[in-house]
Amino acid sequence: MSTIIRTRSPYFIRTSNYTSPTYDIDYFQINISIYEGISGELPTCGGIFGQYTLKKKVLPNETSVTFDISEIVNDHFEQKFNGTFSVSAQTQSMWVQVTVTGYETDGSAISPAVTNTYLAQEGFNKFKEGVNYITEPIAMISGDYYEYHKGSNLVLPFNKERVNSIAWKLNGTTIYTDTVSDNGNSNQKILYSTRSTTSQEYDEAYIVYDDEEATSITLKEIEECKFGVHKITFLNRWGALQNLFFHKKSIETLDTRNETFNRSIFKPRTVTYSEREGECDETYTYNTYNVNAHSKKVHNANGTESILLNSGFVDERMNTYFEELMVSEYIWLTDDENVIYPVTLKDSNFTYKTGLNDRLINYTMNFEKAFNLVNDIR
């Protein structure tokens, strides 16, 4: 099983200790290779995203050093979403091979070099989990309860290195079983298991993992007959895409902006041409201006569309998903006409609601489309 680096949080590599008098250590060098494909097999034709060499001197009275490699790795992710989750998975995991070599003051390398390979995903650890928190999730969501919209695809992300099968159930009866196998390639490490809910309801995803262990996710179907349902797809803390459905009232707005300047529309001389008997006559008028012209001119006019969404009544066990949405760096909106837009979340604060305090829990969130209304991509 791979050691996972979640690149939105620091990941520290501490080198080996080389003590004197056996070694007169001067500095350490690490070589980092970031690539796709099979672990330990650097591609010979494409597929290498970056290679770096870092050097760090040893402080007095120290015999080892620490490197943080997460930011270097994070620059090479490409998060994309076009509605097909399997396409997204191809660029959401990468291999990171790190080779550490110590050098003595005379320039000689200490042998052997130490090489380790990690699986990188664009997730994050929480502060209270400490340094280099390592856990390999089973289902790549943070809870064991999930609500989905009836008629939309039910999509859940799973860790292919641990999961053996997923049984989709209703009232204890297995409707369909996904059998899972990992071929070792980085482009399929995240499995997006998908079930249609147009004519079939599910209330449990029963997961067999690590060959003999089992866990389950409770599912709840939400049906909406009045309002158009909007789907938010976001990158969660595990580096996987996750859906949240907003079932109730939505309000669309347009914020515009422009610049103005005063321009001269005065014409000291105007020439008017007319044809008479095959000849071109010129008529001159002086000191005029057009009273229908814009003396105060608008330019760089553009706008940004926003949409205010309401989740409808949700269980408080969904709180952790809304929390991760608040700090996600990648969000897409699929509207009620199935059109996908990249969006950003305009809200900067989130109040956790509970059944005890609030009884019925509804979240209202404001999203802004991540592009201008007038196409200005050059």
pLDDT digits (tens, 9 = 90+) for 188-202: 999 999 999 999 999
Average pLDDT, the chain: 94
3-state secondary structure of 135: coil
Q: Identify the CATH number of the domain in which residue 54 sits.
A: 2.60.40
Report whether pLDDT(20) > 80: no
Pairing of strands 340-345, 331-334: antiparallel
User: 252 and 352: one domain?
Assistant: yes
Dist CA 321 CA 373 (whole Å) = 30
User: 63 and 25: one domain?
Assistant: yes
Residues 6+ apart with CB under 8 A from 39: 2, 95, 117, 119, 184, 186
User: 173 and 59: one domain?
Assistant: no
User: 312 and 164: one domain?
Assistant: no
Q: Which residue stretches of 45-140 are H helix? A: 70-74, 85-89
User: 78 and 168: one domain?
Assistant: no
Work out the percent of the chain whose per-residue pLDDT is above 90. Answer: 86
Residue type, 295: S
Q: Is the alpha carbon torsion for 13, 79, 239, 354 positive or negative? A: positive
Question: What are the residues facing 138 on neighbouring strands?
Answer: none
Dist CA 6 CA 130 (whole Å) = 13
Residues 6+ apart with CB under 8 A from 347: 326, 365, 366
Domain boundary among 79, 110, 129: 129
Residue type, 157: P
User: 70 and 45: one domain?
Assistant: yes
pLDDT confidence of residue 149: 96
Domain membership of residue 125 as a residue range: 4-129
User: 200 and 124: one domain?
Assistant: no
Q: In what order do the strands lie in the sheet with 93-104?
A: 4-6, 109-121, 93-104, 25-35, 48-57
pLDDT confidence of residue 277: 75
Domain boundary among 223, 257, 283: 223
User: 216 and 261: one domain?
Assistant: no
Domain boundary among 190, 223, 256: 223
Mean pLDDT of 335-362: 92
Q: What is the pTM of this model?
A: 0.91
- R_g (Cα) of the chain, nearest Å: 29
Q: How many domains does the chain have?
A: 3
User: 11 and 145: one domain?
Assistant: no
Residue from 366, 360, 365 nearest 316 by CA: 360
Residue 47, sorted as left (phi over 0), alpha (psi -120 to 50) or beta, turns out to be left
Q: How is residue 263 annotated by DSSP?
A: -
User: 277 and 357: one domain?
Assistant: yes
pLDDT confidence of residue 40: 87
User: 144 and 109: one domain?
Assistant: no
Q: Identify the CATH number of the domain in which residue 154 sits.
A: 2.60.40.10
User: 329 and 290: one domain?
Assistant: yes
Dist CA 57 CA 225 (whole Å) = 65
pLDDT band (50, 70, 90) for residue 276 = confident
Q: Which residue stretches of 253-354 are H helix? A: 319-326
Q: Is the alpha carbon torsion for 311, 317, 318, 323 positive or negative? A: positive
Q: How is residue 238 annotated by DSSP?
A: T
